[in-house]
Amino acid sequence: MSKFIASPAKKLSGNLKVPGDKSISHRSIMLGSLSQGVTKVTGFLEGEDALSTLKAFQAMGVEIEREGDCVTIHGVGINGLKKPENPLDLGNSGTSIRLMSGILAAQEFDCELIGDVSLSKRPMGRVINPLTEMGAVIDSNDGKPPLKITGGQNLTGINYDLPVASAQVKSCVLLAGLYAQGETCVTEPAPTRDHTERMLKGLGYKVRVTDNQMCLTGGGELTATEIQVPSDISSAAFFMVAASIAPQADITLLGVNINPTRTGVINILQLMGADLTLSNEREIGGELLADIRIKSSKLTGIHIPEEFVPLAIDEFPAVFIAASCAEGETVLTGAKELRVKESDRIQVMADGLTTLGIKNTVLEDGIKIQGGEFQQPTGIIESHHDHRISMSFTVASLRCDYPIEINGVDNVMTSFPNFVELANAAGMSVAEV
């Protein structure tokens, strides 16, 4: 088990480029593999999660070359995947297993999807149910991985109302819809990230989006293109919070994805009073990018508007650190989804904040955090092998007078392989032991 020791630091400065967007990196491999022709991807995230997706498609006969963050995918067409010789091991990646279930439910061959200890505890009923409704045959371990998918099924398009706003479930159903007879429509209760719809359109597939409903008709083709992956706003969020809470900070995050379905963290921090400005806004490959400048600021606790919750679902661990440094109380509700991420992020963050002397109250669907001063830790922070927990508590060192020890940081490699290097270059003091 690896561990971070984050020593006190007060200053943060520089122009920082965080790694490529994880969601877009996953989808570039999946949809590039199903396209006709050669798809070239730049800015690909070299984290373990995205590499799990890449290796899975290589195991299904797709030729994929990688040189650093540049990936070349020789597409096999929508029906060109081959049966893998072994179960597909997707490591820690919930995105991989849920989205790929949609693609694999429609193949001629049987396959099995497995993962690590953490992934094996995550609920898959949310994708199994709609896929079964479409005609898929999937066996699971009481709704959890491993998933055994029986090939040779004829899928039929459905109209599916998402019970919970989830981009992974929406994407899974739409990807199965590529193979289904007739039209597949997904209606979501609140906006979620729309990278799948954007990339499908970029690869020439017609997707009809009306308000909160997305529809496509099966049987079409995808045409290869070039994809530039912008910097991941979920990774940038740690440095947005870091600069907001640091006593002295002025940093600029370059080329960050500001897709409107992902900018909840910006909205929330600005509501709290963060000195955060966007510049050089541009569009590349259907995705919006901007440079984001953040300076030290005095934050105030807020009641987080529930409409921002799906737009910031992955960034809440970092937001909880900002709330701990804000004046007054911050209240989050409507975020039950946080309990079924890589860890129960509400409870695990609450436990860590308590270790640092921050008063909090856990709610069924959220948390109340009373801003204050970080105290000398009463123990080691347990991340439960959740990469976002590990990085969030590392950021807390900018307002702590004592070193913070964080256990189980191995999975930081899944989303942000150079986190420690970038944090130290900006002025933090993080050691991996």
Q: In what order do the strands lie in the sheet with 329-332?
A: 329-332, 366-370, 360-363
Annotated active-site residue in 89, 116, 314, 386: 314
Give average pLDDT by consecutive 10-residue segment, the chain, 433 residues.
93 97 96 98 94 98 97 98 98 96 98 95 96 98 97 98 94 98 96 94 96 97 95 97 98 96 96 98 88 98 95 96 98 93 94 98 97 97 96 98 96 92 98 95
288: which DSSP letter? Answer: E
Q: What type of residue is 378?
A: T
Q: pLDDT tens digit string along 211-269?
A: 999 999 999 999 999 999 999 999 999 999 999 999 999 999 999 999 999 999 999 99
397: which DSSP letter? Answer: G
- Tell me how far apart the alpha carbons of residues 135 and 267 are, in angstroms, rounded to a whole number: 40
Strand locations in 321-373, DSSP E? 329-332, 360-363, 366-370
Greatest CA separation found in the chain?
A: 61
Tokens of 320: 């909880």
433's CB contacts (< 8 A; 6+ apart) are 2, 3, 4, 5
Write down the pTM of the prediction: 0.88
Bridge partners of residue 20, in order along the sequence? 231
Cβ atoms of 238 and 395 within 8 Å: the answer is yes
Note if 314 is an active site residue: yes
| Intrachain domains 3-20+230-432 and 22-228 with the same fold | yes
- Tell me how far apart the alpha carbons of residues 252 and 277 are, in angstroms, rounded to a whole number: 9
Question: Is the bond into 377 cis (omega within 30 degrees of 0)?
Answer: no
Of 273, 275, 270, 322, nearest to 296 by C-alpha is: 275
Cβ atoms of 34 and 76 within 8 Å: the answer is yes
* Residue located via tokens 């799906």: 310
pLDDT, position 283: 87
Residue 340: alpha-carbon gap to chain centroid: 13
- Tell me how far apart the alpha carbons of residues 228 and 223 are, in angstroms, rounded to a whole number: 16
* Residue located via tokens 């080691």: 380
pLDDT, position 1: 61
Give the CATH architecture of domain 22-228.
Alpha-beta prism (3.65)
- The structural domains of the chain, with segments of one domain joined by +, span 3-20+230-432, 22-228
Angle (deg, nearest 10), helices 419-426 and 233-245: 30
Of 294, 232, 235, nearest to 269 by C-alpha is: 294
DSSP string, 71-111: EEEEEE-TT-----SS-EE-TT-HHHHHHHHHHHTTSSS-E
Residue-level length of the chain: 433
Of 335, 314, 323, 334, nearest to 389 by C-alpha is: 314
Of the options 3.40.50.2000, 1.20.1740.10, 3.40.50.2300, 3.65.10.10, the CATH number for the domain spanning 3-20+230-432: 3.65.10.10
Pairing of strands 275-284, 287-295: antiparallel
Element (H, E) at 239: helix 233-245
pLDDT, position 320: 98
